[in-house]
Amino acid sequence: MHRRSSSTIWRNWARNQHCSPHAIERPATEAALVAAVGRAVAAGRRVKAVGAGHSFTSIALTDGHLVDLSSYGRVLAVDEERGQVTVEAGITLRALNRVLARHGLALENLGDIAYQSVAGAAATATHGTGLRFRNLSSSIVALRVVAGDGTIVSCSATERPELWSPARVGVGALGLVSTLTLRCVPAFNLHAIEEARPVDGVLERLDDLVEGNDHFEFFWIPGTRWALTKRNRRTNEGARPRARWDAFRNEMLADNLAFGAMLRIGRRRPEWIPSMARRIPSAGPQDYVERSDRVFASPRHVRFLEMEYAVPREAFPEALARVRDLVARIGVPIGFPVECRFVAGDDIPLSTASGRETAYIAVHTGIGAPHQEYFAGVEAIMNDHDGRPHWGKLHFQTAAGLAARYPGWDEFQEARTVLDPAGTFANPYTDRVLGPVGG
Ligand SMILES: Cc1cc2nc3c(=O)[nH]c(=O)nc-3n(C[C@H](O)[C@H](O)[C@H](O)COP(=O)(O)OP(=O)(O)OC[C@H]3O[C@@H](n4cnc5c(N)ncnc54)[C@H](O)[C@@H]3O)c2cc1C
């Protein structure tokens, strides 16, 4: 255990959130995890688990005991026949993907990066894109959770389903997840086509693109008429990777460095952003076949801030059109793209895709760039479309506004009173977005 000192400040990846916990614990076994919770409870302090710190919100902050799970990330069992894997909560998606590949397995769908811990990603309903596919939490078959009283609760669709169902997206408030069993699929390759297209053409053909590809997403570049599109189809074809230089050029130039340079220059000369942005599509089309996780996730070297909203799929065209108007109206050049993705509905109470086919609209700015007016404007638009904020990305919502947007809200709160009646796993963020336990 690492006791608090004046230099014990924890920061998230984006460096926009920090806290000074009373103690930081780094358990490496389940027994140590339980003991860590017990010590905090005995001292009358709250507990927060932290995975990879890749949330932009204050969701992982505490002045109590911070339980850092980076040393608790083993794969405990791989069942190739049933296509299931059981892992300790702190394993990163990247480490898990590698192990699964060795067993001829893969996760069904992934988001843009794989740096997150599996438990942290699940807690916030982390998602990728693909209208026939659901988010990571939907793959959770079973969980072992340390409850607020220090006992371990096992749950699955057949064992305490009333706890398992909401705990798949626990927002860090339904106990401390110790292990997760995930459903996997046989390993697969993706045929990826990535190219710049005029955004209006993309919007005209949107349904075809979303329904005709296994995974479709696009990034509209503010200040331009361009969108970078990514189309992925599942295939039995052998790998035909990008040339190393092409991969490097696209990831570093288009995805990272070009945006980074644009942000740095844009901070001093914002009026240059539109003309810089117009050059980005010249990175050129890409057409390749690769192992699924290598296509889904890419490295990220440029830090940024992000807000992302989930709206019903049918609300997407109007919601995006209003975001484009907003960008034109606020007059501050935006040096980062607007990312649009499409995901199947699911049955998890506080999943952002709960009960409806969902479109996600994500807006970003560079660190230090003004984002308040932009993000507040986007949130106002999303409020009109029953938008649900990503739990790990910046937003200004409170429980009062959110409760009606989730059909499973009460089911979640019910599970909270069972797993954490004293609010051991609460923090100011959960107080704001979920309200007090039993309240
Ligand atoms: C560059 C970047 C790209 C991203 N891309 C995507 C994307 O494509 N799709 C998407 O949906 N999101 C994306 N995100 C958001 C990210 O997936 C989520 O914020 C995710 O929660 C981060 O995982 P983490 O391990 O860092 O969790 P943390 O940020 O460390 O924690 C998140 C929450 O999970 C809780 N938690 C962690 N471990 C446990 C546990 N064992 N038991 C109970 N609670 C726990 C924490 O207490 C906290 O409440 C991205 C973020 C970044 C920075």
Q: What is the 3-state secondary structure (H, E, C) of 285-319?
A: CEEEEEEHHHHHCCCCCCCEEEEEEEEEHHHHHHH
Q: Residue 26 in contact with residue 68, Cβ under 8 Å? A: yes
pLDDT for the residue 3: 47
Evaluate if residue 433 carries a pLDDT over 60: yes
Which percentage of the chain shows pLDDT scores above 90? 81
Ligand 1 mutation target, pool 33, 50, 145, most atoms within 8 A of CB: 50
User: What digits encode the pLDDT tens for the residues 153-207?
Assistant: 999 999 999 999 999 999 999 999 999 999 999 999 999 999 989 999 999 999 9
pLDDT value for 226 = 87
Q: Which of 128, 59, 136, 140 is nearest to 362 (CA)?
A: 128
pLDDT above 70: residue 5: no
Cβ atoms within 10 A of the Cβ of 399, count? 16
pLDDT digits (tens, 9 = 90+) for 292-302: 999 999 888 78
Give the predicted TM-score (pTM) of the model.
Answer: 0.94
The Cα–Cα gap between 230 and 295 comes to 10
Question: Reduced to 3 states, what is the DSSP secondary structure of residue 265?
Answer: helix
168 lines ligand 1 (CB under 6 A): no
The protein residue with its alpha carbon nearest to ligand 1, atom 10, reads: 126
Per-residue pLDDT of 195-245, as tens digits, reads 989 999 999 999 999 999 999 999 998 888 889 999 999 999 999 988 765
Count of beta carbons in the 10 Å neighbourhood of residue 331: 8
Taking CA atoms only, the protein residue closest to ligand 1 atom 43 is 176
Q: Considering only CA atoms, give the Rg of the chain.
A: 21
pLDDT of residue 175: 97
Which of helix, strand or coil describes residue 150?
coil
Mean pLDDT, residues 130-134 taken together: 98
Instruction: For ligand 1, atom 1, name the residue with the nearest CA.
Output: 300
Residues found in the chain: 439
Q: Is the CB of 117 under 6 A from ligand 1?
A: yes
For the segment 51-98, what is each residue's pLDDT rounded down to a tens digit? 999 999 999 999 999 999 999 999 999 999 999 999 999 999 999 999
Q: Are 194 and 285 in contact (CB under 8 A)?
A: yes
pLDDT recorded at residue 42? 95
What separation in Å is there between the alpha carbon of 392 and the centre of ligand 1? 6
Mutate to test the pocket of ligand 1, among 18, 63, 88, 113 (most ligand atoms within 8 A of CB): 113
Type of residue at 156: S
Centre of ligand 1 to C-alpha 107, Å, is 17
CA distances from 125 to 168, 185, 194, 297 (A): 8, 19, 26, 16
Ligand 1 in contact with 177 (CB < 6 A)?
Answer: yes
Minimal-distance CA residue to ligand 1 atom 51: 54
Give the burial class of 3: count Cβ atoms within 10 A of its Cβ; 0-12 exposed, 13-18 middle, 19 or more buried: exposed
pLDDT of residue 278: 56
Give dist(CA 78, CA 346) in Å, integer.
25
Q: Rounded to whole angstroms, how far apart are CA atoms 410 and 350?
A: 10
Looking at ligand 1, which residue's alpha carbon is closest to its atom 48? 60
Residue type at position 241: P
Strands 23-25 and 65-68, sheet pairing: parallel
pLDDT at residue 270 greater than cutoff 90: no
The answer, yes or no, to whether any atom of ligand 1 lies below 6 A from the CB of 60, is yes
Amino acid 284: pLDDT: 67
> Any bridge partners for residue 154, and if so which?
144
Which pLDDT tens digit goes with each residue over 365-415? 988 888 999 999 999 999 999 999 999 999 999 999 999 999 999 999 999
Question: In this predicted structure, what is the pLDDT of residue 2?
Answer: 46
Residue 162 tokens, joined: 């009333």
Element (H, E) at 275: helix 273-279
Q: Which of 14, 13, 21 is nearest to 366 (CA)?
A: 14
Beta strands in 53-115 (DSSP E): 65-68, 75-79, 84-88, 105-106
pLDDT, position 134: 98
For residues 40 and 36, give the distance between their C-alpha atoms in angstroms, rounded to a whole number.
6
Among residues 11, 184, 181, the alpha carbon closest in space to that of 100 is found at 184
Output the DSSP codes for 410-423: HHHHHHHHHH-TT-
d(CA 346, CA 284): 36
Cβ of residue 83 lying under 6 Å from some atom of ligand 1: no
List the residue whose alpha carbon is closest to atom 20 of ligand 1: 121
Measured between alpha carbons, how far is 373 from 355 in angstroms, rounded to an integer?
31
pLDDT at 331: 78
Query: What is the per-residue pLDDT for 185?
Result: 98
Q: Which atom of ligand 1 is nearest to 54's Cα?
A: 26
Alpha carbon 360 to its chain's center: 11
- Using a 6 Å cutoff on CB, does residue 120 contact ligand 1? yes
54 lines ligand 1 (CB under 6 A): yes
Find out whether the beta carbon of 123 lies less than 6 Å from any atom of ligand 1: yes
φ and ψ at 377, to 5 degrees?
A: -65, -45
**d(CA 285, ligand 1 centre) in Å:** 31
pLDDT the model gives residue 299: 84
CA distances to 28, 33, 117, 363 from 88, in Å:
9, 11, 10, 32
Per-residue pLDDT for 258 more than 80? no
pLDDT band for position 332 (50/70/90)? Answer: confident
Whether the pLDDT of residue 120 is over 80: the answer is yes
pLDDT of 6 reads: 41
126 C-alpha to ligand 1 centroid (Å): 7
Q: Is the pLDDT of residue 357 over 80?
A: yes
Place of tokens 């409760």: 403
Determine the residue of 24, 55, 63 to mutate for testing ligand 1's pocket, defined as the one with the most ligand atoms within 8 A of the Cβ atom: 55
Question: With a 6 A CB cut-off, is 91 part of the ligand 1 pocket?
Answer: no
- Ligand 1 and 59: CB distance under 6 A: yes
Tokens (6 digits) for 402: 């959110």
* Ligand 1 atom 5: residue of nearest CA: 112
